[in-house]
Structure 1
């Protein structure tokens, strides 16, 4: 998937759409990649994986082997004429193809003429600590699975390797089992993304105790938004699988429903993880505010102690700053008007007295335990 995140893609796709246009109209973004066409043909004995330069060559190989199963993989939407041809050849409803090219649909499943249209979302948590989110559109048929995605890279390489190596039962099962395997691989990639998100949350928590800065708060809020985005994806994913489990056996055979029950359990686990991380990110915000408040309290404590120490000193120097005359107008002496001012050691005595006041107050604060964390 993309190294650069696709976080603003939904908004961009909405802006690309024309208001009031005909339902089912295809709006291809100017940034859409030219389509690459891949065909994976296999049965229990053989497997052939090829990329085709032309759509006609791909369809020729597809129709030449109707007895085996095929995975038609289209990567890139930058050719509207090709998409319209595929709509006709595979009997895709225009509204479904519109959902494909708009490229930001919630996970869902639709039943149409004994076929399924499935939307899954492939996610990854990038080294830039952002969510990379791409859409995988799946159409099932009697002997094929048709997929569309906007990028050349995806998370389905392990599935391609399994098909190529013939591991497991995938080359012996029906095309519906291949669709299940795709959904299973997509969901499996949610877990490492969630693990990376959890590690990043732990890093932020450690940083909170060292330096709770405004930049750190911004990172926490960004992470919280990513968790909300994942939650908006995982909940519909669970509903989608639950709807598949409720389908008639003519659409989803009974022997395959046990596999869908397995990925349903995975979706439940992911929901639990998402809810857990949602609480963690909320607690990180609370922890940041608590740390900032504690730091402010420590600063106020220091300033309060300093102010308290200087209050008696300010009183003393203010008292001796009063300009009362020592002599009266008749030439006599006013004995009560600060006789200390004329004492030869008055200044030194006053400084010593002020020092004793400060020392006494500091000792009192220490005995009270108010200076232990200052």
Structure 2
């Protein structure tokens, strides 16, 4: 998907909508100029074009009322064109507003007997930035057409386009509602590689945490949890959308098509289960990180304890003999027998050093026998 120079957040979108009349189209300044693609087909007819203007696209659609059309508009950078599109195809202004303000949750709305407005979100996992990128796909269904609108030039629908080109399957024989289902199904299919990539990333983080604990790891884990929350916030409305489609009257969704929507519903359930599993794994990474940090701290305290245990008796000996009590009274010259007589022995210094070395060796052996060195 094409990258935007300025990434809009939900708060920025809400700020832009403040005070605007309901149904008004507010075109973001960074919106791409629209490109017009048309796929027209029937069982024995197929035509695919990229048109320069919306007027040419409309002429092509109206000239073949017997065919089914996929009107594919990419880019919102022309407000006049969007307003004219709403007039020509009788699209509700509030729904067009949802199209342009493209941070909507997945949903479905029925605005005529057999016409629907649906929103899906196309996902991609950025291996470079380790973030979840999503683009809104808005669909309008009609008697012989499906209109798809999106803000970017690139999407995940190329496999469906190829199936239509080569006439594979029954998509050319089915009504336009089946084509709308096929689009949503392709979008859902691309969720699984995204979830798998995120699962691989979780395993990489786990190995990184086990090898080295650092503050950066905790930041990475928290960012990952945020992306998983975002993914779950998208997947749950997708399930609700499929539930609403399955509950619609047979005049809108024929019973023969509901089997396909039930299959898509099953896919959403599988996705939610996988996402919940990844969320639990990400939460366990926080516990693993804290446990690794705690173990590392314990190892540090263990080393400091050993060093302290070795030098405490040595410090006692050095401090004791550092008091320098005189053996003789400086005024009378009388010998004071209890004031460290060993200080004046000829071999007192090497004997004391040997005693201290022996004490160190004994302590190290004692710690070794206790198994304190086994984890180093």
TM superposition score normalised by structure 1: 0.97
Q: Distance in 2 between matches of 1:183 and 1:259?
A: 11
Aligned to 1:35: 34
Which residue, 339, 345, 352 being the options, matches 1:337? 339
Q: Does the residue aligned with 1:50 lie in a helix, a strand or coil?
A: strand
TM-superposition CA deviations, 1:221-272 (whole Å, max 9, x none): 1111111100000000000000100001011000000000001000000000
Aligned to 1:15: 15
Q: Distance in 2 between matches of 1:8 and 1:299?
A: 45
TM-fit CA distance, 1:55: 1.4
Q: Does the residue aligned with 2:117 lie in a helix, a strand or coil?
A: strand
Q: Measured at CA, do residues 348 and 4 of structure 1 come closer, stay the same or move farther in structure 2, by a change above 3 Å?
A: farther
Q: Does the residue aligned with 2:84 lie in a helix, a strand or coil?
A: helix
Residue 352 (structure 2) pairs with residue 353 (structure 1): no
Q: Distance in 2 between matches of 1:287 and 1:303?
A: 24
Q: Measured at CA, do residues 7 and 233 of structure 1 come closer, stay the same or move farther in structure 2, by a change above 3 Å?
A: farther
Q: Measured at CA, do residues 192 and 82 of structure 1 come closer, stay the same or move farther in structure 2, by a change above 3 Å?
A: same
Aligned to 1:137: 138
Q: Distance in 2 between matches of 1:6 and 1:245?
A: 38
- Check conservation: 1:106, 1:236, Cα contact below 8 A: yes
- Taking the TM superposition and a 5 Å limit, the aligned residue runs for 1:1-374 are 1-3=1-3, 8-17=8-17, 19-114=18-113, 115-128=115-128, 129-328=130-329, 329-374=331-376
- Check conservation: 2:6, 2:30, Cα contact below 8 A: no
Q: Distance in 2 between matches of 1:316 and 1:241?
A: 81
Q: Distance in 2 between matches of 1:214 and 1:14?
A: 34
The 10-residue stretch of structure 1 (157-166 or 279-288) with the greater mean CA deviation from structure 2: 279-288
TM-fit CA distance, 1:126: 1.2
Q: Distance in 2 between matches of 1:78 and 1:47?
A: 29
TM-superposition CA deviations, 1:299-352 (whole Å, max 9, x none): 111011101111111111111111312112432211111111110000000001
Q: Does the residue aligned with 1:233 lie in a helix, a strand or coil?
A: helix
Q: Distance in 2 between matches of 1:238 and 1:168?
A: 25
Aligned residues: 373
Q: Does the residue aligned with 2:50 lie in a helix, a strand or coil?
A: strand
Q: Measured at CA, do residues 89 and 280 of structure 1 come closer, stay the same or move farther in structure 2, by a change above 3 Å?
A: same
The 10-residue stretch of structure 1 (286-295 or 258-267) with the greater mean CA deviation from structure 2: 286-295
- Check conservation: 1:237, 1:267, Cα contact below 8 A: yes
Q: Does the residue aligned with 1:147 lie in a helix, a strand or coil?
A: strand
Q: Distance in 1 between matches of 2:294 and 2:121?
A: 41
Q: Distance in 1 between matches of 2:162 and 2:225?
A: 35
Q: Distance in 1 between matches of 2:362 and 2:5?
A: 63
- Check conservation: 1:26, 1:97, Cα contact below 8 A: yes
Unaligned 5+ runs, structure 1: none
TM-fit CA distance, 1:7: 6.2
TM-fit CA distance, 1:214: 1.8
TM-superposition CA deviations, 1:9-54 (whole Å, max 9, x none): 433322332x222111110001111111111100111211111112
TM-fit CA distance, 1:292: 1.1
TM-fit CA distance, 1:198: 0.8
- Check conservation: 1:5, 1:133, Cα contact below 8 A: no
TM-superposition CA deviations, 1:178-234 (whole Å, max 9, x none): 000000000000011111111111111111122222222222211111111000000
Q: Measured at CA, do residues 55 and 48 of structure 1 come closer, stay the same or move farther in structure 2, by a change above 3 Å?
A: same
- Check conservation: 2:76, 2:100, Cα contact below 8 A: yes
Q: Measured at CA, do residues 4 and 125 of structure 1 come closer, stay the same or move farther in structure 2, by a change above 3 Å?
A: farther
The 10-residue stretch of structure 1 (244-253 or 57-66) with the greater mean CA deviation from structure 2: 57-66
Q: Distance in 1 between matches of 2:159 and 2:10?
A: 28
Alpha carbon RMSD of aligned pairs, Å?
1.3
TM-fit CA distance, 1:3: 4.6
Q: Distance in 2 between matches of 1:47 and 1:69?
A: 10
- Check conservation: 1:120, 1:183, Cα contact below 8 A: yes
